[in-house]
């Protein structure tokens, strides 16, 4: 059984590598990857590959990996198959911070070197603010309750929607176009100056989440049973929630809101590999990266030279799966 699970992880890794190769190669300008790596390509192909396509593809892979991994961790923590990273309001908080900077950024006299980081930093600040609020509210009741967390997440999502609507009302035409484009999700703004810090942050958060696999397996027995087996349940909740917030916040800061990936990827991996989190988390990371890279590839090639918002692609794939999942749960 364990050999079969490991072999399936290798298959997912191979599929992810293939999706990366396709994404590097295919686009408005086809790129011969092997010739570029051997320094045999033209200057134009070299520039397009290293300055435009490589940061975009790597950002898509990183965001997809973190959404898939965070979704698997949150579903295990909440023991709820419909949980995903948007459940606790982190994505909505990041969106509100970014949109506030888009609308109000002209009023802030930022140094020229900081302009490229303004919206991503505002999004991360929004995600961290939501996470701090969740901790503070849970601490106010004297315990880190999952039920309290879910209810507060619903309230935060609602309040963020109100704030986003207010900023849409206050924005001018140029800001509104930027705002709507950002809300629909895109990797078109990727550049090394922002992608490298984001990937470092997401990698650190992802490593800490991957290490929680065994504890999440024991948590499925129940909180009391897991505590009797030596699991610090409170610490596990804090690590999963905080690292999910950091990973998703860093990704949303650059890509905008992308739905359904954190929901459908863990279910697909669970059907392929099984429920053990030590394999489920790694599989969700790999499949999330591969699916997001392919979704972005489709978004930027289906109507060349224009491109679709990547959230339209993920939603078109995720919504039918979500309906199938609901029907499957009802049959049970």
Look-up of token digits 């099984």: 274
Look at the chain and report how many structural domains it folds into: 1
- Specify whether the CB–CB gap between 245 and 128 falls below 8 A: yes
Q: Are 292 and 22 in contact (CB under 8 A)?
A: no
Number of neighbouring beta carbons within 10 Å of residue 254: 26
- CATH code for the domain in which residue 159 is found: 1.10.3470.10
Domain limits for position 290: 2-331
CA distance linking residue 99 with residue 93, whole number of Å: 10
Global pTM value: 0.87
Q: What is the pLDDT of residue 111?
A: 65
Tens of pLDDT along 114-145?
666 777 778 778 877 887 777 677 667 655 56
Positions of the chain with pLDDT under 70: 1-2, 106, 109-116, 135, 138-139, 141-146, 329-332
Max Cα–Cα distance, the chain, nearest Å = 64
Q: Backbone phi, then psi, for 309, in 5-degree steps? A: -60, 135
- 321: exposed, middle or buried (Cβ count in 10 Å: 0-12, 13-18, 19+): middle
pLDDT score recorded for residue 292:
94
């Amino acid at each position: 059984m364990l050999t079969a699970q490991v072999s399936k992880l290798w298959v997912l890794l191979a599929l992810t590598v293939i999706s990366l190769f396709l994404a590097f190669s295919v686009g408005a300008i086809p790129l011969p990857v092997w010739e570029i790596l051997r320094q045999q390509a033209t200057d134009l192909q070299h520039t397009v590959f290293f300055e435009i396509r490589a940061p975009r593809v790597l950002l898509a892979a990183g965001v997809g990996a973190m959404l898939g991994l965070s979704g698997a961790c949150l579903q295990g923590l909440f023991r709820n198959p419909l949980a995903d990273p948007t459940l606790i309001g982190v994505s909505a908080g990041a969106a509100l911070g970014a949109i506030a900077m888009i609308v109000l950024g002209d009023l802030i006299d930022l140094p020229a070197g900081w302009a490229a980081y303004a919206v991503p930093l505002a999004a991360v600040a929004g995600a961290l603010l939501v996470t701090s609020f969740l901790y503070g509210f849970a601490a106010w009741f004297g315990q880190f309750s999952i039920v309290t967390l879910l209810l507060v997440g619903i309230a935060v999502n609602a309040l963020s929607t109100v704030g986003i609507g207010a900023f849409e009302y206050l924005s001018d035409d140029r800001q509104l176009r930027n705002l709507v484009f950002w809300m629909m999700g895109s990797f078109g703004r990727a550049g090394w100056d922002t992608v490298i810090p984001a990937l470092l942050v997401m990698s650190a958060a992802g490593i800490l989440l991957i290490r929680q696999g065994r504890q999440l397996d024991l948590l499925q027995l129940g909180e009391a049973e897991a505590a009797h087996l030596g699991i610090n349940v409170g610490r596990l909740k804090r690590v999963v929630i905080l690292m999910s917030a950091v990973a998703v916040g860093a990704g949303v800061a650059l890509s905008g809101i992308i739905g359904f990936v954190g929901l459908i990827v863990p279910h697909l991996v669970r059907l392929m590999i099984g429920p053990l989190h030590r394999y489920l988390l790694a599989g969700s990371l790999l499949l999330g990266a591969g699916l997001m890279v392919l979704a972005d590839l489709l978004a930027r090639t289906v109507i060349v030279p224009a491109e679709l918002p990547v959230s339209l692609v993920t939603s078109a794939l995720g919504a039918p799966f979500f309906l199938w999942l609901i029907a499957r749960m009802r049959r049970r």
